[in-house]
């Protein structure tokens, strides 16, 4: 049945005050079209009622649709019909928050246990967790867990900065002494520091396009895998487990004089916990919702094949398409990335060759607790001559054979494909094994038991500050959902002063139980592309109405100027896997149907006709996927550049309307909020209530093996100490590096709770 949404005042509201709400009515009519509860998202307003009891806005929820598929001809060919164009207007009021327990991630039946790919689901997760945490995977000591060991994020403090490598033009110079080999301190933040944090136009104390990120590999060119991978001293970084690569001088700024330091990623590390709910992954959403078994690019790479030996002794190269599998797509990116985990030029079959050899013990350098929730049953974890034997009792080959159907690994006939070969089938398909198993493991990392979840479940109450913060966070145009649980109406909401209408619109980007507008549910059940609100935006100092199409869940919020990082607006290249990342740009080119079969045509995104402004202008440049805010207490520093240290600094950022507004891509929902001190504290209190304590104490399923991570080099930004050459030598010296080791947690977790980055006070603007 249709669901009515209502905005209403009560009898105590004088009619003379109704006018305060009228400037927002036009936007609210569009904004309130969606769901009255987490299960119902769609709506279309039908009327405004002035009654004796107040002002009532009605809307009717309707079923979901995809862009343009069911309404051919509804938009003018030149895209100038802004009222009936294909694209759903964005939901400025946002989607009400709910318990994440209410969300079910859709799964592709191809991945059912006993189906085409998976023999045993439990063994698949076991393999994935081992691969995720194994330091032997990286060319010189990196695991996926190296950048995701603290609440799914990274808490290292040394050599974590990266220059403006995503800028146009590329900027390889560090600024404000951030690096290389800088030890970050609280005083380094925020990166865009203003004399008055309340006023984005106040004097700039310092500014930087640098990024606080995660250290990865040294700059080396791949030669080969070592013939035997047998760590002989169980050290944190045993050179026997490192690849043979040639060291060359780093030209991207990661060196001190002629001594290379470890490279750092060009964007801040997001948590992978709850990443299963994202329709696409990475900040720029290049990890597609369709997994092709080979790389992150899904249907962008038409040449990708995996090798199937089901009908003959000779494996055939076949393309695959696995839906709702963005984590699988994401997982196959880092292992061969020359910033993160790999010498430049290493392939996935090389990784497979390294790990599948009979002499490689999984997690050989790391302790695995006997109580590990997944790996405990196959952990050595026994005392031998007074020392602990590390790693697992099963080989990676045995784990692959236990997890996957034999058609994907049984053949001994070498095959060639994906630009590599000839290789044994099991090595040639290692990206498939990696993606499906690591993705399956990450899908177990579901943090849905925070205080907020329990509030919406009806099993817990919020403090007064947390409740007020939730109301503010959910407010838009002076209203908020009512009741907070299972809302069916909206009622007036004010700031702490009791007079100023609360108009934060946070849930326009961070709504729903998933707390992101880029979730599978929000994108696939509503619309993949949306029409930006026609609200004024500043362009070249002038207030101008904006009308543009953008990828749902992706926004430019003014963290940095567009040319510092184009994000989703990556324009592509000549390779098949380098089509534009923005689906809006694909629609403009008429190629979106390759990824969304129902999306045919260009949807009014043609150029302007006869000088008429085209409302179908794309809005992808400088936009980024809205991250979920769950466990945000523990995942700082914040934003894609890591430029804000505390949650209070983030609140101040939004309170002033962002840092950089003078561009056409800026989202008009980011605006001055007029928050007072109590409002800010209440918002931070609400955000802290999003922490799942299982994550904070690393309890199952968030437990993990022990891991050692590289954490900077001796010296500082100006000098360092040269270390011994790594296998393969080369013309460039490399710096000695420090390591910090974190104990295996086991299913019962830690005694001491994880702390925010740099142990900051999240309520402080100047910690």
d(CA 586, CA 723): 48
Instruction: Note the pLDDT tens digit of each residue in 725-754.
Output: 999 999 999 999 999 999 999 999 999 999
Residue 696 domain flag: no
Are residues 114 and 47 both part of a single domain?
Answer: no
Stated pTM of the model: 0.88
Instruction: Note the pLDDT tens digit of each residue in 587-635.
Output: 777 777 777 766 655 555 554 444 444 445 678 999 999 999 999 999 9
Q: For the residues 182-205, what does the mean pLDDT come to?
A: 96
Residue 305 domain flag: yes
DSSP string, 345-367: T--HHHHHHHHHSTTPPTTTTS-
d(CA 421, CA 417): 6
Scored b (16 or more CB within 10 A) or e, 623-635 reads bbbbbbbbbbbbb
Are residues 123 and 5 both part of a single domain?
Answer: no
d(CA 636, CA 653): 15
In the chain, the number of structural domains is 2
d(CA 672, CA 654): 7
Q: How confident is the model at residue 364 (pLDDT cuts 50, 70, 90)?
A: very high
Are residues 282 and 407 both part of a single domain?
Answer: yes
Cβ–Cβ < 8 Å for 145, 365: no
Boundary (domain end) residue, out of 442, 470, 505: 442
Cβ–Cβ < 8 Å for 511, 95: yes
Q: What is the CA radius of gyration of the chain?
A: 26
Percent of the chain with pLDDT over 90: 69
The β-bridge relationship of strands 44-51 and 529-531 is unpaired
CB atoms within 10 A of CB 49: 12
Flag whether pLDDT at 208 surpasses 80: yes
Are residues 55 and 114 both part of a single domain?
Answer: no
pLDDT of residue 28: 38
Q: What angle do CA 219, 229, 721 make, to 5 degrees?
A: 35
Are residues 283 and 372 both part of a single domain?
Answer: yes
Q: For the residues 458-472, what does the mean pLDDT come to?
A: 97
CB atoms within 10 A of CB 423: 22
Q: How confident is the model at residue 17 (pLDDT cuts 50, 70, 90)?
A: very low
Residue 623 domain flag: no
Q: How confident is the model at residue 528 (pLDDT cuts 50, 70, 90)?
A: confident
Backbone angles phi, psi at 318, to 5 degrees: -130, 140
List the one residue out of 1, 32, 100 whose CA is nearest residue 520: 100
Beta bridge partners of 344: 221
Cβ–Cβ < 8 Å for 367, 375: no
pLDDT of residue 358: 81
Boundary (domain end) residue, out of 423, 442, 461: 442
pLDDT of residue 705: 97
Please tell me what DSSP assigns to residue 466. Answer: H
d(CA 531, CA 529): 7
Please tell me what DSSP assigns to residue 672. Answer: B
The SS3 of residue 85 is coil
3-state helix, strand, coil split of the chain in percent (to 5) is 25, 15, 60
Residue 720 domain flag: no
Are residues 125 and 47 both part of a single domain?
Answer: no
Which run of H or E residues covers position 709? strand 707-710
Instruction: Note the pLDDT tens digit of each residue in 251-292.
Output: 999 999 999 999 999 999 999 999 999 999 999 999 999 999
Residue 736 domain flag: no
Are residues 320 and 406 both part of a single domain?
Answer: yes
Scored b (16 or more CB within 10 A) or e, 306-336 reads bbbbeeeeebebeebebbbbbbbbbbbbbbb
Q: How many residues does the chain have?
A: 767
d(CA 59, CA 47): 7
The SS3 of residue 275 is helix
Residue 9 domain flag: yes
Containing structural domain, residue 356: 109-136+267-442
Are residues 13 and 130 both part of a single domain?
Answer: no
Using CB atoms within 10 A of its CB, is residue 301 exposed (0-12), middle (13-18) or buried (19+)?
buried
Residue 551 domain flag: no
Are residues 22 and 118 both part of a single domain?
Answer: no
Are residues 418 and 311 both part of a single domain?
Answer: yes
d(CA 325, CA 323): 5
Residue 719 domain flag: no
**For 331, how many CA atoms within 13 A lie in the half-sphere containing its CB?**
33
Boundary (domain end) residue, out of 419, 442, 465: 442
Comparing 5-9, 104-108, 340-344, 512-516, the range with the smallest average pLDDT is 5-9
Scanning 659-731, the segments in alpha helix (DSSP H) are 677-688, 693-696
Mean pLDDT of the chain: 84
Cβ–Cβ < 8 Å for 63, 42: yes
Are residues 271 and 360 both part of a single domain?
Answer: yes
Are residues 349 and 275 both part of a single domain?
Answer: yes
């Amino acid at each position: 049945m249709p669901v009515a949404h209502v905005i209403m005042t009560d009898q105590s509201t004088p009619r003379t005050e109704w006018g305060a709400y009228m400037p927002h009515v036009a936007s609210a009519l569009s904004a309130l079209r969606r769901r009255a509860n987490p299960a119902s998202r769609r709506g279309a307003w039908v009327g405004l009622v002035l009654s004796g009891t107040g002002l009532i806005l009605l809307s009717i929820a309707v079923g979901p649709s995809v862009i343009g598929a069911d309404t051919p001809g509804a938009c003018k060919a030149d895209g100038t019909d802004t009222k009936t164009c294909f694209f759903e207007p964005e939901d400025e009021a946002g989607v009400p928050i709910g318990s994440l327990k209410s969300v079910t991630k859709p799964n592709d039946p191809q991945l059912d246990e006993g189906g085409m790919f998976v023999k045993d689901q439990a063994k698949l997760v076991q393999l994935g967790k081992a691969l995720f945490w194994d330091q032997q995977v990286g060319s010189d000591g990196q695991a996926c867990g190296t950048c995701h060991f603290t609440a799914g994020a990274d808490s290292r403090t040394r050599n974590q900065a990266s220059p403006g490598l995503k800028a146009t033009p590329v900027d390889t110079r560090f600024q404000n002494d951030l690096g290389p080999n800088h030890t970050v301190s609280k005083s380094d933040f925020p990166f865009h520091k203003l004399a008055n944090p309340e006023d984005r136009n106040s004097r700039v104390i310092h500014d930087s396009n640098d990024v606080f990120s995660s250290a990865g590999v040294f700059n080396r060119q791949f030669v080969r895998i070592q013939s035997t991978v047998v760590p002989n001293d169980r050290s944190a970084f045993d050179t026997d487990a490192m690849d043979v690569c040639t060291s060359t001088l780093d030209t991207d700024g990661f060196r001190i004089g002629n001594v290379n330091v470890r490279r750092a990623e060009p964007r801040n590390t997001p948590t992978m916990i709850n990443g299963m709910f994202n329709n696409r992954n990475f900040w720029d959403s290049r990890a597609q919702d369709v997994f092709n078994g080979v790389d992150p690019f899904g249907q962008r790479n038409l040449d990708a094949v995996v090798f199937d030996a089901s009908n003959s002794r000779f494996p055939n190269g076949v393309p695959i398409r696995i839906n709702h599998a963005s984590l699988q797509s994401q997982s196959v990116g880092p292992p061969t990335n020359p910033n993160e985990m790999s010498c430049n030029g290493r392939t996935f079959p090389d990784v497979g060759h390294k790990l599948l050899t009979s002499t490689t013990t999984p997690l050989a350098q790391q302790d695995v607790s006997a109580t590990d929730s997944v790996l405990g049953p196959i952990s050595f974890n026994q005392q031998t001559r007074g020392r602990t034997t590390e790693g697992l009792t099963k080989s990676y080959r045995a784990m692959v054979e236990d997890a996957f159907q034999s058609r994907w690994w049984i053949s001994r006939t070498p095959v060639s494909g994906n630009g590599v070969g000839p290789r044994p089938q099991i090595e040639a398909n290692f990206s498939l094994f990696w993606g499906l198993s690591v993705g399956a493991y990450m899908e177990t990392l579901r943090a849905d038991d925070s205080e907020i979840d329990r509030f919406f479940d009806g099993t817990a109450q919020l403090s007064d500050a947390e409740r007020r913060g939730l109301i503010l966070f959910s407010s838009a145009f002076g209203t908020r959902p009512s009741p907070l649980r299972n809302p069916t109406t909206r009622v007036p909401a004010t700031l702490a002063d009791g007079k100023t209408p609360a108009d934060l619109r946070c849930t326009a980007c961070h709504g729903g139980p998933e707390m992101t507008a880029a979730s599978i549910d929000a994108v696939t059940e509503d619309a993949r592309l949306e029409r930006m609100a026609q609200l004024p935006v500043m362009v070249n100092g002038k207030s101008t109405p904006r009308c543009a199409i953008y990828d749902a869940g992706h926004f430019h919020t003014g963290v940095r100027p567009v040319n510092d990082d184009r994000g989703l607006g990556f324009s592509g290249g000549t390779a098949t896997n380098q089509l534009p990342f923005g689906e809006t740009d694909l629609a403009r080119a008429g190629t979106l149907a390759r990824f969304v079969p129902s999306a045919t045509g260009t949807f009014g995104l043609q150029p302007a006709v006869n000088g008429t402004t085209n409302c179908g202008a794309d809005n992808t440049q400088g936009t980024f996927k809205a991250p979920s805010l769950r466990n945000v207490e523990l995942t700082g520093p914040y934003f894609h550049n890591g430029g804000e240290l505390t949650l209070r600094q983030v609140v101040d950022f939004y309170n002033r309307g962002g840092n950089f507004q003078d561009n056409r891509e800026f989202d008009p929902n980011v605006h001055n909020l007029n928050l007072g001190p109590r409002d800010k504290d209440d918002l931070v209190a609400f955000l802290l209530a999003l922490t799942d304590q299982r994550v904070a104490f690393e309890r199952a399923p968030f437990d993990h093996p022990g891991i050692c991570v590289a954490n900077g080099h001796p010296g500082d930004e100006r000098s360092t100490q040269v270390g011994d050459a790594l296998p393969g030598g080369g013309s460039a010296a490399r710096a000695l590096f420090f390591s910090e080791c974190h104990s295996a947690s086991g299913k019962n977790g830690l005694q001491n709770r994880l702390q925010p980055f740099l142990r900051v006070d999240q309520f402080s603007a100047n910690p």
